[in-house]
Amino acid sequence: MAKKVRVRFAPSPTGGLHLGGVRTVLYNYLFARQHGGDFVLRIEDTDQSRYVPGAEEYIYECLKWCGLDPDESPLKGGPHAPYRQSERKELYRQYAEFLVQEGKAYYAFDRPEELESMRERFKTAENPSPQYDHKVRQEMRNSCSLTFEETQRMLNDGVPHVIRIRMPENDTVTFTDMIRGEVSFNTGLVDDKVLLKADGMPTYHLAVVVDDYLMKITHAFRGEEWLPSSPVHILLWKYLGWEEQMPQWAHLPLILKPDGNGKLSKRDGDRLGFPVFAMNWTVPAKGDTKEELIKGFRELGFMPEAFVNLLAMLGWNDGTDQELFTIDELKEKFSMDRVHKGGAKFDFEKAKWFNHEWIKRSDVARLKPDVKQIFDQHGLAAADDKLEKVINLVKERCTLLTDFVEQGKFFFETPQQWDLEAIKPKWNDAKQAFFGDAIGYFQDQTNWNAAADLENGFKELAAARQIKPGEVLLPLRIMLVGGKFGPGVFEIASIIGKEETVGRIKAVLEKL
């Protein structure tokens, strides 16, 4: 019987969630849903020095906004709790000690200054930053170079120490990656990574293997930057006797800067003027640096459906020209064998295109809560029935949800400024007189809701005054809206009402 598919996303609570991280969540989630499996969220907080308060809650909020809810997590619990590595601390030492007894790992007592001295001593032109590996192991203070008695004495005296893996000098580690095929590494080029730190906390290398084993993870998907660590992890699976249970690996392609040169980083967003985090993240003040707000896709006005859709397409397609997918379509069509090996360039204009398309295809019921919230933030009071009409009228013009303010606020408040410079060059007494008559025409209308009737009467009035309708439609638009934009001008008039329409025309006539 095939094992139940179990995948995990295991972020560190050290800051905002980069869009590459959300894509990893998405691919895990889709794979799990497609195979009737479980998606686990595990918090890898073993590096307490980098822990940032609020970061864990931020991760939950991001996943909730994207609609990518885990089946098991620190919040939800589950059969393999606890799901925070710091709460599993007692588990790891026994496995590290087992590796020492098997001769696959060793105690290292080196102080920071001794490590610094080693890096200076072994530095050469060919090797400018020496690693702690099989070449220097015997020169350092560890249980490989010390006698058994010396080692025991130091342990008994409580001398601070770490446990390091003992990497073979010249073996080849090979595994099959679901995206890249067969991948091989020479172990002689890999350093003796620390498995257990002096404070008793495991490093990522030990914790990820132990937790994946205990949580019965069947597939491990992560960014390709973790590829160089694979030989360490694969040897740990083997040394701990769990090789048969080892998950299948897939190393996802990087998300690249728009020009394709290197991985897209948090700082690139600042430099290029677009977000790289799912939601706003406030970097806490530290030392001399002040608190800093980094903008997110959510606050910029992206719909979660569009955000998830665009991330799916950064490194995958279904083999057709289709670009717009609902989450249900993605669950059905996603497959790891169509994930690309090469990195995917991030294109912010394309990201906005996805959002525009999603706004256009979404109905009023879906858009209204988000638009209402944005209007509230801008102090725009909007009655539901009127707001629904406005959303339908202007959604084709909105790329971001925040655009509804610019495209719709004049329905709810009188413009304070008008683009009079666009009217003045062709303004004359005849037009001034015409709009005086137009006020009377509008005031006489009894069926105000029929935009077509308002338009026909207005154009007939212009024809009677021997004025081309085109010459008075732009001034009318600017009177009602404030500028040269917006949907049909008579649609606008029918929604803002007779009194407001007449009031706005009078206000501009006074200024002209």
CA 290, 18, 21, 189 dihedral sign is negative
According to CATH, the topology of domain 87-252 is Glutamyl-tRNA Synthetase; domain 3 (3.90.800)
Task: Please name which of 25, 2, 8 lies closest in space to residue 217, comparing C-alpha atoms.
Answer: 8
Which residue in this structure is represented by tokens 């590829």? 227
* CA distance linking residue 450 with residue 447, whole number of Å: 6
368 is in an annotated binding site: no
DSSP 8-class letter at 32: H
For residue 48, the model assigns a pLDDT of 79
For residue 1, the model assigns a pLDDT of 67
Low-confidence ranges of the chain (pLDDT < 70): 1
Identify the CATH class of 366-511. mainly alpha
**HSE of 55, CA atoms in CB hemisphere, 13 A:** 19
Q: What is residue 105's three-state secondary structure?
A: strand
User: What's the distance, CA 360 to chain centroid?
Assistant: 22
For residue 2, the model assigns a pLDDT of 73
Domain ranges within the chain, ordered by starting residue: 87-252, 366-511
Residue 466, judged by CB atoms within 10 A of its CB (0-12, 13-18, 19+), counts as exposed
For residue 257, the model assigns a pLDDT of 92
DSSP 8-class letter at 157: T
Cβ atoms 52, 13 nearer than 8 A: yes
Report the catalytic residues: 266
Q: Is the peptide bond before 82 cis (omega within 30 degrees of 0)?
A: yes
For residue 277, the model assigns a pLDDT of 94
